[in-house]
Amino acid sequence: MAGLTLERVNKRFGSTQVIDDVSMQIDNGEFIVFVGPSGCGKSTLLRLIAGLESITHGDLMIDDQRVNNLTPPERGIGMVFQSYALYPHMSVYDNIAFGLKLAKQDKQTVDERVRQTAKILQLDGLLERLPKALSGGQRQRVAIGRAMAREPKILLFDEPLSNLDAALRVQTRNEIARLHERLGSTMIYVTHDQVEAMTLADRIVVLNAGHVEQIGTPRELYERPASRFVAGFIGSPKMNFIQVTAEADAEQGCRVEIPAVGQRTLPLALSAGSTSEATLGVRPEHLIPPPARAAMGWKSSTSSTSAAKPTSIWNAMTASCWYAAPRPQARSGAASG
């Protein structure tokens, strides 16, 4: 296992800025997921960590050692690619052993590590098969085994499940989660699928246009998004956004008038007597139909439309996000920023 630190890492291809001043700390044994839309820089950032691309500016540290100028093998990193990249003429055994043989390990060590890795990944009965005789999930496990056999400090995954069908994605995702629990290795995983991110990660790094929008646990990102981008990106169906005017309330924070719902009080601090244009974010699961609202004791200024329980309010002037915990019997909850 190893910890990893990025300090103001930048990457340019010519005049195009791809990674913009990214800093983060990844602890020993953490499972970190990079998530974001296509073209946000998540795979490029993973390749910078692996040493497959050079860093334009900034420092990359592994266990407090600066590794900017080290080759991928010298960094002690294993990588699993989107395509399995297996040698079709080699057996499962030889594919897993390939990196060990390149590193000039002795035959006994190679055999021990291959068989140990195959047992962990439940491939021990398939070692003599060629890749063409394997299912997609089995091929992906062979690719993971090839990376694992070298006993790397950090395992990197670049969208490893994108070539699998839906059912196999779920199965392989569960296998990766169990593998992390068993090995306790530091793992960094890239995906555009937020379901994978939310189910696998200890912490998620949300990337947008080459910079980090927010780093946090899945629950933190869902309940306390730091920006409108994160609020809209995390969650399916997406959060609904409503433009409102927030008016300061000396006793309770601020009041907002929500179209077709009425006035609500939210824990947003505004200067006394001031008003501010803001965007109210409401998760779909917090929209309550009129019959359900009445049963829960909610009252609204109108009976012909659904009421909304505010979950977060994003203030365009301060670019901050506040979260009001949804409570069935109350109109607002304690806030945290």
CATH number of the domain encompassing residue 328: 2.40.50
Residue 70 pLDDT: 93
Indicate whether 176 and 42 sit together in one domain: yes
CATH number of the domain encompassing residue 26: 3.40.50.300
Q: Is 160 exposed, middle or buried (CB count within 10 Å of its CB: 0-12, 13-18, 19+)?
A: buried
Indicate whether 211 and 171 sit together in one domain: yes
Note down the domain range covering 324.
237-336
Residue 166 pLDDT: 81
Residues 6+ apart with CB under 8 A from 39: none
Indicate whether 257 and 129 sit together in one domain: no
Written as six digits, the tokens of 323 are: 């979260």
Classified as helix, coil or strand, 141 is: helix
Domain count, the chain: 2
Classified as helix, coil or strand, 331 is: coil
Distance CA 154, CA 212 (A): 21
Picking from 277, 227, 228, the residue whose alpha carbon sits closest to that of residue 254 is 277
Report whether the peptide linkage leading into residue 237 is cis, meaning its omega lies within 30 degrees of zero. Answer: yes
Residues 6+ apart with CB under 8 A from 48: 9, 11, 19, 54, 55, 60
Indicate whether 158 and 242 sit together in one domain: no
Indicate whether 8 and 90 sit together in one domain: yes
Indicate whether 181 and 251 sit together in one domain: no
Domain final position from 179, 198, 229: 229
Domain final position from 181, 211, 229: 229
Residue 250 pLDDT: 60
Distance CA 202, CA 316 (A): 30
Is 46 within 8 Å of 34 (Cβ atoms)? yes
Is 80 within 8 Å of 26 (Cβ atoms)? no
- Say how many C-beta atoms besides its own lie within 10 A of residue 124's C-beta: 14
Q: Which string of b and e fits 37-63 if b means at least 16 CB within 10 Å?
A: eeebbbbbbbbbbbbbbebeebebbbe
Residue count (the chain): 337
Strand locations in the chain (E): 4-13, 16-26, 31-35, 57-62, 65-66, 77-80, 154-158, 186-191, 203-208, 211-216, 240-249, 253-258, 262-266, 275-282, 287-288, 307-308, 312-315, 320-324, 335-336
Strands 186-191 and 16-26: unpaired
Indicate whether 326 and 190 sit together in one domain: no
Residue 294 pLDDT: 56
Q: Which string of b and e fits 222-231 if b means at least 16 CB within 10 Å?
A: bbbbbbbbbb
**pTM, rounded to two decimals:** 0.80
Give 106's Cβ-side CA count (13 Å radius): 2
First to last CA, the chain: 33
| Per-residue pLDDT tens digits of the chain, which is 337 residues long | 678 999 999 999 999 999 999 999 999 999 999 999 989 999 999 999 999 999 999 999 999 899 999 998 889 898 998 888 899 999 999 999 998 998 888 999 999 999 988 988 889 889 999 999 998 888 988 998 998 888 888 999 998 888 777 887 888 888 888 888 888 889 999 998 888 899 999 999 999 999 999 999 999 999 889 888 999 899 888 888 888 887 877 666 778 877 767 777 777 666 666 677 778 888 887 776 666 555 555 554 433 334 444 445 444 433 333 433 333 333 333 333 3
